[in-house]
A and B are shown apart, each in its own frame.
Chain A
Amino acid sequence: GQQLNQSPQSMFIQEGEDVSMNCTSSSIFNTWLWYKQDPGEGPVLLIALYKAGELTSNGRLTAQFGITRKDSFLNISASIPSDVGIYFCAGRSSNTGKLIFGQGTTLQVKP
């Protein structure tokens, strides 16, 4: 089946550093969503992208919908301890219309 490859799998960074993570696929997607999940909670939507090339910000977070429609990245600037969690990308397949989730990026921030 269709898969999203999300990288890196985990990151351990110093407070104040910038963070970048991405998702790639061999298939085309018409929507990209980025979620953050805290332990024991449901994912919370951070950013939604609907057009190839679209660049959207939400506070310190910036995400882009790749021109090829097969990838997306999320950047977090000036990380803080509360950024800790698991970040998931999700792409809406242009073939099936269903959301496919990446494997997640676990972010740890050292104060």
Chain B
Amino acid sequence: EADIYQTPRYLVIGTGKKITLECSQTMGHDKMYWYQQDPGMELHLIHYSYGVNSTEKGDLSSESTVSRIRTEHFPLTLESARPSHTSQYLCASSVGGAYREQFFGPGTRLTVL
């Protein structure tokens, strides 16, 4: 089982603010992912990374950006938060072939007022 951490767990912020959601994993997994999930709904992939200095956009268009400077760290940034960004953001990681077993962090619940 992977140890994967997300901070903050909850964030309430005003429109126009810049925010960074942190995600770290301690298992040395090379692949990491960000998903967006509305309450009770399916997960949608917004970003993924196959390794350091590798980032790709997912299937759901997102105004957020990501970086992968270190294997264990995969932060997500919103330059100017809007109410439409209100959602749960889930980080995941996996090892081996892409999209094999993915292990999820606890999520960040973002509310933009």
Against B, the Cβ 8 Å flags (1 = close, 0 = not) of A75-98 are: 000000000001010101000011
Q: Are B102 and A31 in touch, CB under 8 angstroms?
A: no
Given the contacts A98-B45, A98-B59, A102-B42, A92 and B107 also touching, CB distance less than 8 Å: no
Chain B residues within 8 Å of A, Cβ to Cβ: 6, 40-45, 58-59, 90-92, 98-107, 109
B contact residues around A40 at 8 Å (CB): 106-107, 109
A102 to chain B: closest residue by CB: B42
Query: CB distance A97 to B105 under 8 Å?
Result: no
Q: Is A65 close to B, CB under 8 A?
A: no
The interface size of chain A toward B, counting residues with CB under 8 Å, comes to 23
Contact A42 B107 (CB under 8 A): yes
Q: In the complex the two chains form, is A104's CB within 8 Å of B99's CB?
A: no
- DSSP majority for the B interface? loop
**Contact across chains for A103 and B45 when beta carbons are under 8 A apart:** no
Given A88-B43, A101-B42, verify A45-B99 contact (CB < 8 Å). Answer: no
Nearest CB in chain A: distance from B61 CB, A = 12
New contact pairs (12) apart from A31-B100, A45-B103, CB-CB < 8 Å: A40-B109, A42-B92, A42-B104, A43-B43, A48-B101, A88-B42, A92-B100, A97-B99, A98-B59, A102-B42, A103-B41, A104-B40
